[in-house]
Structure 1
Amino acid sequence: MASISAARKILMGVLLCLMLSLISWKDGEGNMTHSRYFVDSEAGDDHQDGRSPGTAWQSLTKVNSTVFQPGDHILFKAGSIWTGELKPQGSGIAGKPIVINRYGEGDKPLIQGAGAPSAVSLYNQEYWEIGHLELTNTGPTATSYRRGVSIIGEDYEASNKGTLDEVSTLHHIRLHDLYIHDVNGEDRKDGLGSAGILIAVLITDPQDKASPSADAVHERTTFDQIVIENNVIERVERSGIATWSDWKNRELLHDQNGCADCERAPWTPLTNVVIRGNKLTHIGGDGIVPHMTDRALVESNTLKGFNMTSTGYNAGMWTWNGDHTLYQFNEVSEGYSTRDGMAFDFDHASDGIIYQYNYSHDNDGGTLLFCSDGSGGKVTNGIFRYNISQNDKYQIFTICGASNVYNMQVYNNVFYIGPDLDTHPLVSQGGAVQVTLHNNIFFNLGSGHYTGKASWTYDSNLYYGNHIPSMSTIPDPNRLTSDPLFIEPGAAADIHDLSGYKLRIGSPAIGSGINMPTEGMNDLFGDKIVSSNLGAYGGLGEAAKDQADNE
């Protein structure tokens, strides 16, 4: 009798736990969620309730027809495969996002867009977290726009329509741990362009988009709190990761033309955008482009191979019509062709962009572009510091033809050019842009030459190796031309292997630099800056490699 009673208690306990699991559960942070929905492409059945692995749904159609509630979790079975577009409905709220993830052991759940506009898409939705899926989107041709993930906002919150004094904001989109690959789409660079991941705010009426009429006032919309992290993106056309907004007009963009559309589609940037820890390979056009953002953070990403299939001009990581983007700890390599093809770019209508602690190498188009178009798109207050370029090709800097680029500072960088390369360290092409170069080291073992530029200011840089420029060519009053005594230059394998660019004890570059605004900063190697050096190292000198081996 006692054994029957014990068995009954155990059974009741199991049933109670099962009932609770169907009603609610806690996420990894201990927050109570609403409901879990399971989706299994093989053993599922859309006529079931979807609330447990044993009663899972089967199709994307069932998921797409459901309006999910704050805190809900949509869990796709590992190893399952679906074809089509995932377009779930509903929005979360602060503290209770709707979550898409996986369950079970095995490969990431695969969604094959098969030529759909996107493999996963949200429209005017907020508070979503999407992770641990595999996404492809290959159509029969590349003549339509196509994405892995698209998050679109447009005329959000109709109550604000008719006035541009208020901004309707969509909040909290997190895309993480996705594997996005083999997306073929048309070579188009705007809010409808193809991409691995696209976050965009649109004004979709073609006539309004170009120049919204006064009697067709759309609803001013933007995104806040976008996090794109730890994704792998491969073989994607056209852009790897991109943001965009049709609410883009401002004086900085139009510059000398005047801004006729500023009152009808005023610049409304995406805010609190973080793009971190992503690995991108073989990207058709641009790599990472947080356009129309303010204070975006782009850090610890790896981009290998870009501009691979596009017929246009593409760079690795850059901002168009956006302000104060911080790019740091990124590695950019193997940009293809000199239709741009460089790692980084100060581009049209940008203000206060900073590149620091980045590593570029083996890019056909070189390292850095300064670009405006003369009649519009002024570029101001850019900083390029504590970066290392190794064996970038063509020329270190490329300059567009216009002159409306102001107050650009390039300091404490290292530009290493190995033997057999014809990379030009300094050039004279382009417009009269205002650039100052301080405390940089040009280590040139190749055949490329230096050319001075009248609108540039050179002071306290080191020029070593072949074709050292004369003072008449590069008027640098405090230049050095002796060996900087790097530990092991030219030997870096990746961004985690840059110690060869530290300076040896006794280097002439130690203490020879102009004092720059580096208070509270570390050098490229993460150490406190204690000396005004040339290059990206801020210490007092390191033992040479052979000395260190003997100690």
Structure 2
Amino acid sequence: MWVAAGLLGVWVAGLAAPVAAETYHVNALTGDDRADGTRPERAWRSLARVNAFPLKAGDKVMLTAGSVWRESLTLTRSGTASAPIIVAATGQLPRPRIEAGGVSPHGVAVLNAEYVTVSGLEVTNDTPGGVAGTESRFGILVSAQDRGVTRGIRIADTYVHDVRGTNARKDNGGIVFQALGPKRPTRFQGITIERNIVWRVDRSGIAGISDQVTRANWFPGEQVVIRDNLVEDVGGDGIVPRGTDGALIEHNIVRQAGARAPGYSAGIWQWSTDNSLIQLNEAAYTRTRYDGQGFDSDFNSRRTTLLYNFSHDNQGGFLLICSPRVDDRDNLGNRGTVARFNVSRNDGTRIFQLAGNVTDALVEGNVVHVGAALDVQMVVATQWDGWARDVRFRSNAFRVAGTARYGREAGRSGPDYLIQPGFAPAEYIAFDGNSFLGRHIGVPQDPSGRYDATYVAPPADWDVPVFDPARPEGFSDFLIHHRSWMMTMLQRELNAPVRLQQAQPISLFEARR
């Protein structure tokens, strides 16, 4: 009996002993798939060798700089919270590059795996002629299906460009994370997408996808962070998380969204979420008037906060708040959106659009500059299976060198709304303490408002930092410079310190079910 117990103890101890993590090297120029990969001089050659290898928690895969692969990288093994699987670049030459065009729907994929980090890579997925294709394509795809909660995903410091998916679908493009649960509810808990360059992609820049987003089928992702990314020249939408609770979308730069896709697009927005915090972002040069705003608080969402953002030169305007008819199964409408301390400059068409079933919204302390050549709808209520109700505009500065109009939809002309004075049948659209400077038509009653038709815009520093995504070197320095410029500009425009917030999920007592 004592011998048996001793053997059992040895066996249990053997099970508990951790297997040492390893570092594997991959070099497309000098590697050999017959090697063991554990030293640079014994590197593997192909990504197929990585895909087939049983990586374990704590393993690192180092892709050698200067390497180019015409195949995809597919990761299906999980790490742990204390020992993630890491794929990164090594060496001083150009980033290791994965060219998936014509050989795979994705350049990099993390499939049904958790605690995985991918960083330092260059990824393309182009089509002949560099035009949008007819099939879904991804630069980087993170996908979880029928596996419950998926944790610990990080996509960082990648350079994703020339991904030509189809503009007929929103669920493909540069970086896409999707949680699908037709058999078992599935979500992400802890996914971070930060410091990436996403350039010349179709249809979406950075997009979250979920099928657990309806009022009756609610299993939102948590601890979702999208931060410090540059998204430029996008067929459709720039950044769109879906089906999340307490997501943070902070200090991203989205320029030239809506460049090619038909239908409706916007720069930065969320869809079917609770407590999203969208702060310190720049959205600019959105190139459509079908929506076409820099920012949007959308369908089936509660308590979205847009704070300290900068919107400029977007064809469709600054901010859309919208949702269609309330439905007991699918949609509770758009409730409790707060847009506070944002700056809009030279946005076109519609500065604030209230579309459909919007309730309990607050637009407060924003500064809007309308250029001399612009004739815009400053606040317009439009119909989408209903009308807005209980929206307060408080202490905003509407500084108009051109013309600003107010009213409600009276008809459509393509992407544009014909308006007439007054907001009815929208109800309780209230104004208090706003500044109406310059030329305003149909201006609403504001008991404590300030009116000055002689406004002349003073000179100011609007030299926004720019970055050429064709030259990704120096991106970290650009992010630092851009954040500093944003903070300085916001303090000047708002005449107050900038105090960023922390994202917080809905409390247990406010949960949807």
Compute the TM-score of the two structures, normalised by the length of structure 1. Answer: 0.75
Separation in structure 1 between the aligned mates of residue 395 and residue 95 of structure 2, nearest angstrom: 48
**2:121 counterpart (119, 133, 154):** 133
Query: Residue 68 of structure 1 aligns to a residue in which SS?
Result: coil
Tell me, yes or no, if the aligned pair for 1:358 and 1:386 is still in contact at 8 Å: yes
Structure 1 stretches of at least 4 aligned residues deviating more than 4 Å after TM superposition = 483-487, 497-504
Could you list the runs of 5+ residues in structure 1 that have no partner in the other structure?
1-31, 157-167, 204-208, 210-217, 251-261, 511-521, 528-551
Separation in structure 1 between the aligned mates of residue 464 and residue 23 of structure 2, nearest angstrom: 45
Change (3 A) 1:226 1:188: farther
Whichever residue aligns with residue 117 of structure 2, its letter is E
**1:123 counterpart (111, 122, 127):** 111
Question: Hey, what does 1:146 align to over in structure 2?
Answer: 137
Separation in structure 1 between the aligned mates of residue 108 and residue 124 of structure 2, nearest angstrom: 10
Tell me, yes or no, if the aligned pair for 2:116 and 2:153 is still in contact at 8 Å: yes
Whichever residue aligns with residue 36 of structure 1, its letter is T
Q: Greater CA deviation, 491-500 or 455-464?
A: 491-500
Tell me, yes or no, if the aligned pair for 1:489 and 1:501 is still in contact at 8 Å: no
Separation in structure 2 between the aligned mates of residue 59 and residue 340 of structure 1, nearest angstrom: 44
Separation in structure 2 between the aligned mates of residue 492 and residue 480 of structure 1, nearest angstrom: 29
Query: Residue 382 of structure 2 aligns to a residue in which SS?
Result: coil
Provide, for residues 128-180 of structure 1, a one-character-per-residue CA deviation record: whole Å limited to 9, x for no partner: 01000000001346111001111111111xxxxxxxxxxx2111000000000
Deviation at 1:369, TM superposition (A): 0.7
Question: Hey, what does 2:248 align to over in structure 1?
Answer: 297
Map 1:72-91 → 2, pairs under 5 A? 72-91=59-78
Deviation at 1:89, TM superposition (A): 3.3
Deviation at 1:484, TM superposition (A): 8.5
Whichever residue aligns with residue 376 of structure 2, its letter is T
Question: Hey, what does 1:419 align to over in structure 2?
Answer: 372
Separation in structure 1 between the aligned mates of residue 457 and residue 369 of structure 2, nearest angstrom: 11
Question: Hey, what does 1:199 align to over in structure 2?
Answer: 177
Change (3 A) 1:185 1:244: same
Tell me, yes or no, if the aligned pair for 1:484 and 1:503 is still in contact at 8 Å: no
Provide, for residues 482-532 of structure 1, a one-character-per-residue CA deviation record: whole Å limited to 9, x for no partner: 47898745735356157567679xxxx99xxxxxxxxxxx744879xxxxx
Deviation at 1:234, TM superposition (A): 0.1
Question: Hey, what does 1:432 align to over in structure 2?
Answer: 388
Separation in structure 1 between the aligned mates of residue 323 and residue 342 of structure 2, nearest angstrom: 23
Separation in structure 2 between the aligned mates of residue 272 and residue 501 of structure 1, nearest angstrom: 27
Change (3 A) 1:486 1:447: closer
Deviation at 1:183, TM superposition (A): 0.3
Tell me, yes or no, if the aligned pair for 1:277 and 1:302 is still in contact at 8 Å: yes
Deviation at 1:330, TM superposition (A): 0.3
Change (3 A) 1:33 1:228: farther
Provide, for residues 338-396 of structure 1, a one-character-per-residue CA deviation record: whole Å limited to 9, x for no partner: 11110111211000100000000000000011211124431101100000000000120
Deviation at 1:329, TM superposition (A): 0.6
Deviation at 1:313, TM superposition (A): 0.5
The higher radius of gyration belongs to 1
Provide, for residues 163-205 of structure 1, a one-character-per-residue CA deviation record: whole Å limited to 9, x for no partner: xxxxx21110000000000001112445xx21211111124xx
Query: Residue 466 of structure 1 aligns to a residue in which SS?
Result: strand
| Percentage of identical aligned residues | 34
Deviation at 1:114, TM superposition (A): 1.2
Whichever residue aligns with residue 181 of structure 1, its letter is H
**2:399 counterpart (443, 448, 451):** 443
Question: Hey, what does 1:54 align to over in structure 2?
Answer: 41
Whichever residue aligns with residue 199 of structure 2, its letter is E
Higher strand share: 2
Tell me, yes or no, if the aligned pair for 2:277 and 2:304 is still in contact at 8 Å: yes
Change (3 A) 1:438 1:33: farther
Separation in structure 2 between the aligned mates of residue 85 and residue 143 of structure 1, nearest angstrom: 20
Deviation at 1:88, TM superposition (A): 2.8
Tell me, yes or no, if the aligned pair for 1:188 and 1:194 is still in contact at 8 Å: no
Question: Hey, what does 1:480 align to over in structure 2?
Answer: 450
Question: Hey, what does 1:276 align to over in structure 2?
Answer: 227
Separation in structure 1 between the aligned mates of residue 212 and residue 489 of structure 2, nearest angstrom: 46
Change (3 A) 1:428 1:382: closer
Separation in structure 2 between the aligned mates of residue 238 and residue 178 of structure 1, nearest angstrom: 18
Structure 1 position 249 matched with structure 2 position 205: no
Tell me, yes or no, if the aligned pair for 2:248 and 2:277 is still in contact at 8 Å: yes
